[in-house]
């Protein structure tokens, strides 16, 4: 009896991707801009995709959570031929109602949402540039949570106030 040789070929490694989305909230304009993110595969940097979703700040928690999950799932890996570009080229800035980047950064509060691991089962939500106190808040939540829970968490972080004791 002859035994055939078995050749073992290890499986190809899957590309491990940590997804992300950026959310900009403005009380002045009463809107939320949700910017899906892309990753440049060769240089490794992240950038906002051209199409941002704009919703009302007073939308229900359910609508906010669904919009964030929908845009989180739009994450992709795509070559960008033009490089990083200027801040004034950011799609979120263009979708805003501000005329200068300085005013945009003053009037819109940025919250970053990223997967904690390449499985993207847990989301890390963090405030970015929480000026003038310079303390950033971070929270985690399951990616499988109800959309209303995610919307509620985002708004809680947006409305949180950290003040200095004197």
CB 30 within 8 A of CB 73: no
CATH topology of domain 20-159: NMB0488-like fold (3.40.1590)
19-72, pLDDT tens digit by residue? 999 999 999 999 999 999 999 888 888 999 999 999 999 999 999 999 999 999
Token readout for 155 is 């708004």
Could you tell me the pLDDT band of residue 10, with boundaries at 50, 70 and 90?
low
Burial class (CB in 10 A: 0-12, 13-18, 19+), 102: exposed
Please compute the mean of the pLDDT values over residues 72-93 and round it to a whole number: 84
Assess whether pLDDT exceeds 70 at residue 126.
Answer: yes
What are the extents of the domains in the chain?
20-159
For the chain, the residue count is 166
Give pTM, 2 decimals.
0.86
Residue 109's pLDDT is what? 92
Could you tell me the pLDDT band of residue 113, with boundaries at 50, 70 and 90?
very high
Query: From CA 38, how far away is CA 58, in angstroms rounded?
Result: 28
């Amino acid at each position: 009896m002859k035994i055939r040789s078995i050749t073992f070929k290890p499986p190809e490694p899957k590309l491990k991707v940590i997804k992300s989305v950026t959310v900009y909230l403005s009380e002045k304009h009463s809107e939320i801009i949700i910017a899906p993110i892309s990753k440049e595969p060769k240089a490794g940097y992240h950038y906002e995709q051209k199409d941002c979703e704009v919703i009302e700040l007073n939308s229900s928690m359910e609508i906010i959570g669904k919009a964030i999950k929908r845009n989180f799932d739009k994450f992709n890996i795509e070559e960008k031929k033009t490089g990083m570009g200027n801040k004034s080229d950011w799609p979120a800035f263009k979708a805003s109602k501000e005329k200068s980047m300085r005013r945009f950064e003053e009037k819109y509060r940025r919250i970053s949402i990223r997967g904690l691991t390449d499985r993207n089962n847990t989301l890390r939500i963090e405030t970015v540039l929480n000026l003038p106190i310079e303390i950033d808040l971070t929270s985690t939540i399951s990616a499988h949570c109800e959309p209303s829970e995610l919307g509620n968490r985002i708004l809680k972080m947006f409305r949180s106030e950290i003040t200095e004791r004197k």
